[in-house]
């Protein structure tokens, strides 16, 4: 560390010892989330574009308004998983391995439950309309499908971090992997909130 200490002395004599700016991995994950979030913004914007170009009702003739209850339960379940991810992350920051492992496990299970409900929802909705019915159906299934794909990626990521946590890979000082997984997970949850508002609430406005 002599070299860094030397450079510190040159550029900033009063610096403290720990790194002050966020790590490369944190920045990398943030940029990945930024570009993926833009992807969903574009998808939802396409939904509104087609909606406002459509004369007549929305959803179009012959398709019932989306059912709120199951989607609401799903959204609440997924949103609560974010809390557990936060527990895991803030736990490991203080070196609490149990909080890390249990928090991640809870989030993983809630994510799995959501995915199960989403599959059920898809099957039920598909009795009413399919992606081939019209543009509304295509957008509905593309948006929810894209979200499910991202959720699967998030589940794999959390499972991986969980596995590494069992082997004691993380500590109060070194837990970048947990931080990155948390950013991604919160993003997947935020997208679900946007989807719930767009696909389920706005048609009733």
How far from 3 is each of 8, 10, 12, 48, 128, CA to CA, in Å? 9, 11, 14, 56, 67
If one asks whether residue 203 binds other proteins (CB under 8 A), the answer comes out as: no
Q: What is the 3-state secondary structure (H, E, C) of 154-166?
A: HHHHHHHHHHHHH
70, 117 in Cβ contact below 8 A?
A: yes
Q: Please list every residue from 60 through 99 that binds other proteins, using CB under 8 A.
A: 60
If one asks whether residue 119 binds other proteins (CB under 8 A), the answer comes out as: no
121, 74 in Cβ contact below 8 A?
A: yes
74, 120 in Cβ contact below 8 A?
A: no
Choosing from 57, 68, 160, 172, the residue that interacts with other proteins (CB under 8 A) is 160
Choosing from 75, 88, 89, 134, the residue that interacts with other proteins (CB under 8 A) is 134
If one asks whether residue 38 binds other proteins (CB under 8 A), the answer comes out as: yes
C-beta closer to other proteins: residue 84 or 175:
175
Binding-site size, other proteins (CB under 8 A) = 52
If one asks whether residue 202 binds other proteins (CB under 8 A), the answer comes out as: no
CB of 132 to other proteins, least distance (A): 5
CB of 180 to other proteins, least distance (A): 10
59, 202 in Cβ contact below 8 A?
A: no
- Candidate ranges 75-83, 87-95, 167-175, 192-200; the one touching other proteins (CB under 8 A): 167-175
C-beta closer to other proteins: residue 24 or 69:
24
Q: What is the 3-state secondary structure (H, E, C) of 74-143?
A: HHHHHHHHHHHHHHHHHHHHCCCHHHHHHHHHHHHHHHHHHHHHHHHHHHHHHHHCCCCCCHHHHHHHHH
Provide the binding-site residues for other proteins, judged by CB under 8 A.
1-4, 6-8, 10-12, 15, 19-21, 23-25, 27-28, 31-32, 34-36, 38-39, 41-43, 46, 49-50, 53-54, 60, 131-132, 134-139, 141-142, 156, 160, 164, 167, 169, 174, 176
């Amino acid at each position: 560390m002599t070299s860094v200490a030397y450079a510190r002395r040159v550029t900033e004599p009063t610096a403290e010892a720990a790194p002050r700016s966020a790590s490369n991995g944190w920045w990398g994950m943030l940029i990945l989330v930024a570009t993926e979030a833009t992807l969903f913004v574009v998808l939802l914007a396409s939904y509104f574009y087609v909606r406002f170009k459509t004369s007549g009702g929305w959803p179009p003739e012959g398709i019932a308004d989306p059912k709120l209850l199951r989607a609401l339960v799903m959204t609440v379940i997924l949103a609560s998983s974010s809390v557990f991810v936060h527990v895991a992350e803030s736990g490991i920051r203080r070196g609490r391995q149990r909080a890390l492992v249990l928090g991640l496990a809870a989030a993983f299970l809630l994510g799995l439950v959501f995915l199960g409900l989403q599959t059920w929802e898809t099957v039920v909705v598909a009795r009413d309309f399919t992606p081939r019915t019209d543009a509304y159906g295509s957008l509905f299934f593309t948006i929810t499908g894209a979200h499910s794909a991202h959720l699967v990626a998030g589940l794999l990521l959390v499972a991986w971090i969980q596995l590494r946590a069992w082997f004691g890979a993380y500590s109060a000082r070194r837990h970048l992997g947990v931080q990155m997984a948390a950013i991604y997970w919160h993003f997947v949850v935020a997208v679900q909130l946007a989807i719930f508002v767009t696909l389920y609430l706005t048609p009733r406005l």
